A and B are shown apart, each in its own frame.
Chain A
Amino acid sequence: MNETITVLGMALITFVIKALVFLLGDRVRFPPLLVRALGFIPVTVLTAIIVPMILSPHGQGLEINLHNPQLIASIFAVSVCVATRRQLLTIIAGLAVFFTWQTWM
């Protein structure tokens, strides 16, 4: 029940934001500072979500060692992404390293 409310709330918020400008037209104005701030949102949000999952996957302190497949695979994925700029290749390579490392180490 709670999950359903959460999802429908997300839907309402997303819809209002997407449709607002089309519905209100020129009555919506954007200060330049807000426009610049919005440019930083995607990278900060996504990075803030994944860094704790990578550095302390069990939520109990830093795990910078070879027994942390999240860390090893992420380092590999970042390298692949920097080198190739190809999203799907990055995802497949990262997952492959993750599952291999988890299985064999």
Chain B
Amino acid sequence: MLPKTPLSEFVAGTRDTVPMLLGAAPFAIIFGSLTPSAHLALWQGQMMSLTVFAGSSQFIGVGLMASAASMLVIWLATFIVNLRHTLYAATLLPQVRHLPFRWRWLLGFLLTDETFAIVNSHYIRHPDNPLGHWYFLGSGLAMYINWQCWTLIGLIFGAAFPQLQNMGLDYAMVVTFIAIVVPQLTKVPQLAAALTAGAVAYLLQGLPYKLGLLAAIAVGVTVGLALPKPQAQTLANQENA
């Protein structure tokens, strides 16, 4: 067995992330091709991927921009949607807290759902890996570069076929969200929260600045919390994992 080096850990992190890279590609392409509908220039679309680097917030940002939501609502939605990352970070903190500042902010920036899944399971298997941050970096950087490349391809695709927008390419976002949400609706509170949020969003869609969206999230989450827990698990366990 070869001794572990920063490079070997970096490569291992990248290698273990390959399935996630393939899974993220279609989302980046769809995101890129949707940006014209949000009245974004191509460079602004790429800038969003380069600086925001969070798939669901980028989709929501584009969707809200396309429907002329106010800047404040877009920022609030971004805030709410990204809150889950604090739980990921809290889970990984024991492995990260000893690192220098420059490592901690870089790894924080590179944190995504996918990299969390890969890095967390790595840390569970190798709790005392002194080079684990190189593994984390390999996974995060692979996701980052992958996201940029596929975004660019989507941007070019969307620009080359502008008639796709008129045909309703924004439906691609709807069906993408369906594919993300439906597998998560395995428990009654989740299902009830989602259905409530959908109903309130429909009823309040006439409110200005897309404020109905925020109301729908608030009511949906409240309904989910009010229902009895099936089993105390998932997120609470992740935090202690």
- Measured CB to CB, the closest approach of chain A to B127, in angstroms, equals 18
CB nearest neighbor in B for A7: B48
B65 to chain A, nearest CB (A): 7
Complex Cα distance, B167 from A95, in Å, reads 11
Chain A residues bordering chain B, tally (CB within 8 A): 67
Given contacts A35-B239, A56-B205, A95-B171, contact A22 B105 (CB under 8 A): yes
B81 adjacent to A45 (CB under 8 Å): yes
Are B183 and A85 touching (Cβ within 8 A)?
yes
State the CA gap A46–B198 with chains docked (Å): 9
Of B51, B101, B176, B213, the contact of A91 (CB 8 Å cutoff):
B176
Task: Report whether A87 and B105 are in contact in the complex, using a CB–CB cutoff of 8 Å.
Answer: no
CB-contacts of A1-36 with B (<8 A): 2-11, 13-15, 17-23, 25-26, 28, 30, 32-33, 35-36
Q: A44-B193, A51-B198 are in contact. Are A10 and B179 (CB under 8 A)?
A: no
Q: Which of B38, B90, B185 contacts A30 (CB 8 A)?
A: B90
Chain B residues lying within 8 Å of A30, measured Cβ to Cβ, are 86-87, 90, 239
Q: Report the bound CA distance from A50 to B59 in whole Å.
A: 12
- A9 contacts B71, CB within 8 Å? yes
Q: Which residues of chain A are near B101, meaning CB under 8 Å?
A: 23
For the complex, count residues of B whose C-beta is within 8 A of A.
91
Known A-B contacts A8-B51, A52-B201, A91-B176; the reply to A20 vs B89 at CB < 8 A is: yes
Q: Which of A2, A20, A36 neighbours the largest number of chain B CB atoms within 10 Å of its CB?
A: A36
> Measured between C-beta atoms, what is the minimum distance from A105 to chain B in Å?
13
Asked if residues A17 and B174 are in contact (CB atoms below 8 Å), the reply is no
Contact A77 B175 (CB under 8 A): yes
Q: Which residues of A contact B (CB under 8 A)?
A: 2-11, 13-15, 17-23, 25-26, 28, 30, 32-33, 35-56, 59, 69-70, 73-74, 77-78, 81-82, 85, 87-88, 90-91, 94-95, 98-99, 102
